[in-house]
């Protein structure tokens, strides 16, 4: 058995559309996870025209995901940070303070789309931050960084159900520590910006945490918890996330770069981070909230 899930922005999912698709595919009864926002129904087999329908629904602002019915409720969340749990790329925001924002943002976009080597691109961008006052990090956190909608509910709900939450970023510990604390993650891993005399040195501690390190984190944490990789839902948007997205039981490309979407079967382009709860079969009235 499979489960087809439809997700849109609140109020944007037409019940008639859900009914029409269920009827066309001979699906089971529709379960509304959130009125006019998220619904699911069972399927006996995978539809042959799944991706044609997916493309059509994208034009209507609706995400479609079809996945096996078994083991949807996960025991661990593994999340990227930049452009995933937060709306920004931290290095781009630091670069803007250093006066090289546009240049660094261009490199970031290319690296996240897989056009550049991640480690080399990170080294180049960090080099452009040389002599930036360390105090700017707190300024950026306070004035430029915003949490991605739905993230607080995602972490709180999964933790309320006994799941473990890990934030693993190719960004920097100065940011992951704050974001992890604000959202309630159990641990965080990232790169460390080196500093001296109150200024950034333009270098990062080695080894650089990139694609392979995210895969290693998934393997290490699941082994420590005594669970399997199939018990993990992972989410990210960049090329350096593909390894963990492929290895996890459920890998979600969230508002992802084109090259990342091309390699992932689960793509969320219209919903927010609560989509990861709907994919696990949670209804909105079952969500938990921090605090």
234 and 282 part of one domain? yes
Cα–Cα separations (whole angstroms), residue 190 to 174, 177, 248, 249? 9, 9, 19, 23
Whether 290 shows a pLDDT value over 90: the answer reads no
Q: In this predicted structure, what is the pLDDT of residue 210? A: 87
Can you state the angle between helices 151-160 and 173-183, rounded to 10 degrees?
60
Is 36 part of the annotated catalytic residue set? no
Same-domain check for residues 238 and 183: yes
CA–CA distance, 250 with 19 (Å, rounded to integer) = 26
- 77: pLDDT confidence band, cut at 50, 70 and 90? very high
In-domain check, residue 45: yes
Cis peptide before 207 (omega within 30 of 0): yes
Residue 115 domain-assigned (yes or no):
no
Q: Is 265 a catalytic residue?
A: no
Domain assignment of residue 284, given as a range? 73-87+146-291
| pLDDT the model gives residue 131 | 95
- Residue 5 is part of a domain; what is its CATH number? 3.30.70
Same-domain check for residues 234 and 268:
yes
Catalytic pick among 80, 92, 237, 241? 80
Rounded CA gap, 186 and 51, in Å?
36
Q: Do 260 and 240 contact (CB within 8 A), yes or no?
A: no
Q: Are residues 183 and 236 in the same domain?
A: yes
Kindly report the CATH number assigned to the domain that includes residue 150: 3.40.50.1000
The reply to whether 184 and 261 lie within a common domain is yes
80-101 pLDDT, tens digit per residue, is: 999 999 999 999 999 999 899 9
Which pLDDT does position 113 carry in this prediction?
86
Rounded mean pLDDT, 255-262: 93
Both tokens of 70, joined, read 């078994």
Q: Given the residues 36, 63, 82, 131, select the one marked as catalytic.
A: 82
Cα distance between residue 109 and residue 58, in whole Å: 23
- In sequence order, the β-bridge partners of residue 281 are none
Residues of the chain above pLDDT 70, percent: 100
Flag whether pLDDT at 220 surpasses 90: yes
């Amino acid at each position: 058995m499979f489960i087809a899930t439809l997700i849109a922005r609140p109020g944007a999912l037409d019940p008639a559309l859900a009914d029409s698709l269920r009827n066309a595919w001979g699906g089971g009864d529709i379960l509304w996870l959130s009125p006019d926002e998220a619904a699911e129904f069972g399927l006996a087999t995978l539809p042959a025209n799944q991706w044609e329908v997916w493309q059509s629904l994208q034009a209507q602002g609706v995400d479609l995901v079809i996945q096996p019915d078994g083991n949807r409720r996960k025991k661990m969340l593994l999340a990227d940070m930049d452009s995933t749990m937060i709306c920004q790329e931290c290095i781009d925001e630091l670069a803007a303070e250093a006066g090289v924002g546009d240049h660094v943002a261009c490199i970031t976009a290319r690296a996240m789309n897989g056009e550049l080597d991640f480690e080399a691109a990170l080294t180049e961008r960090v080099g452009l931050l040389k002599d930036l006052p360390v105090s700017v990090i707190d300024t950026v956190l306070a004035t430029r960084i915003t949490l991605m909608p739905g993230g607080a509910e995602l972490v709180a709900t999964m933790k309320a159900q006994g799941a473990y939450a890990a934030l693993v970023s190719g960004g920097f510990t100065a940011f992951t520590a704050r974001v992890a604390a604000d959202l309630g993650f159990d641990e965080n891993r990232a790169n460390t910006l080196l500093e001296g005399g109150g200024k950034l040195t333009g270098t990062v501690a080695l080894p650089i945490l990139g694609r392979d390190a995210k895969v290693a984190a998934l393997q290490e944490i699941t082994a420590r918890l005594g669970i399997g990789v199939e018990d993990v839902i992972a989410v990210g948007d960049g090329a350096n996330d593909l390894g963990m997205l492929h290895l996890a039981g459920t890998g979600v490309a969230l508002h992802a770069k084109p090259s990342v979407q091309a390699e992932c079967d689960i793509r969320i382009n219209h919903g927010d981070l609560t989509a990861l709860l709907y994919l696990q079969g949670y209804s909105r009235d079952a969500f938990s909230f921090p605090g």
